[in-house]
Amino acid sequence: MGVKTKIEWTRSEDGSAGATWNPVTGCTKISPGCKHCYAERMAKRLQAMGQKNYASGFELTLQDHAVELPLRWKKPQTVFVNSMSDLFHEDVPVDFIKRVFDVMKRAHWHRFQILTKRSKRLAKIGGELEWAPNVWMGVSIELDKYCTRASDLRRTGAHVKFLSLEPLLGPLPSLDLSGINWVIIGGESGPGARPCEIGWIRSVIEQCKAAGVPCFVKQLGAVPLIPQVPEGLHGPDVLAAARGIDLEWPADTHFGNQTGDPRWNGRQALLHDSKGGAPSEWPEDLRVREFPERQFAAVAKLERGMIQ
């Protein structure tokens, strides 16, 4: 049995918690989404606790002993690959990546989810990899300038391609969802979390609806910002507009004042869940947690064919 994870989108078909598998640990930061890396914080804690896999802290390390672990897990489950690293890091040899892919193919009773920010390397070596039906491939996109990562993902032979828009740090007007099977959205949480404007999330939900792509809103983040009152309003109209915005939220929601930072537009919704991860605290239109059911069915058929 793998190490269980609370990640909401890493679920098995029966709804049970998924697992993590880390044939590589450690990483280096390459874009703004990496600034407050949870894996880095966790690796340092594990190092302090004497966990042997993290003797080098967050320095990239190939965990050779862990490569074939999924073959020992007999119960089918959804497995998040390298929650503590990036399989496509430039210091991970191609032959090692191929070994990982070979194990995923052989462990056909599991479903594997891989996520990378290094989409250019993914696209470069993707043609050398054997894309078994049970391997789902995703890329992270946090700002509009990184929407090109989706284009790199489309160049792979993955049967299910997904986007993780987490931490969402800005609007994504350039997002192209063609050929994408699933989108996950999440604001930033943890120490130093940066705000996430609700309008950014709403816009992606609408884009997904228009493209017919399943969408999963994981969390609003630690600092969810509600929209400002539209410019140009005066007097009673300002109060009426603010009241209308506030009424979208559950009746017991409290709101903070302006963040004081001119980069952010809006007031903060003060939620009980520190990650903004409780849908009951959100406006109803944000409570979207869809799984790619059609892809589940299609992949299941492919898997059955592969097994036979």
Summarize pLDDT for 133-144 with one digit per residue, the tens.
999 999 999 999
| Mean of the per-residue pLDDT values of the chain | 91
Summarize pLDDT for 187-214 with one digit per residue, the tens.
999 999 999 999 999 999 999 999 999 9
Residue 298 pLDDT exceeds 80: no
Domain segments of the chain as ranges: 3-307
CA distance linking residue 78 with residue 162, whole number of Å? 15
CA distance linking residue 285 with residue 206, whole number of Å? 10
How many CB atoms lie under 10 A from the CB of residue 85? Answer: 24
Please give the share of the chain, as a percent, with pLDDT higher than 90. 78
What local confidence, expressed as pLDDT, does residue 306 receive? 44
Which of the residue ranges 2-6, 90-94, 162-166, 169-173 would you say has the lowest mean pLDDT?
A: 2-6
What mean pLDDT comes out for the span 117-133?
97
CA distance linking residue 236 with residue 296, whole number of Å? 51
AA letter at 210: A
What local confidence, expressed as pLDDT, does residue 236 receive? 81
Please state the φ and ψ torsions of residue 59, each to the nearest 5 degrees: -70, 135
How many CB atoms lie under 10 A from the CB of residue 266? Answer: 21
Please state the φ and ψ torsions of residue 255, each to the nearest 5 degrees: -125, 140
CA distance linking residue 204 with residue 185, whole number of Å? 8
Beta bridge partners of 163: 139, 183
What local confidence, expressed as pLDDT, does residue 299 receive? 47
Q: Find the DSSP H helices in 156-218.
A: 198-211
Q: How confident is the model at residue 238 (pLDDT cuts 50, 70, 90)?
A: confident
Query: C-alpha 30: how far from its chain's center?
Result: 16
Q: Taking the model in full, what pTM does it have?
A: 0.91
**Better-scored residue on pLDDT, 1 or 159:** 159
Summarize pLDDT for 48-64 with one digit per residue, the tens.
999 999 998 999 999 99
CA distance linking residue 249 with residue 224, whole number of Å? 12
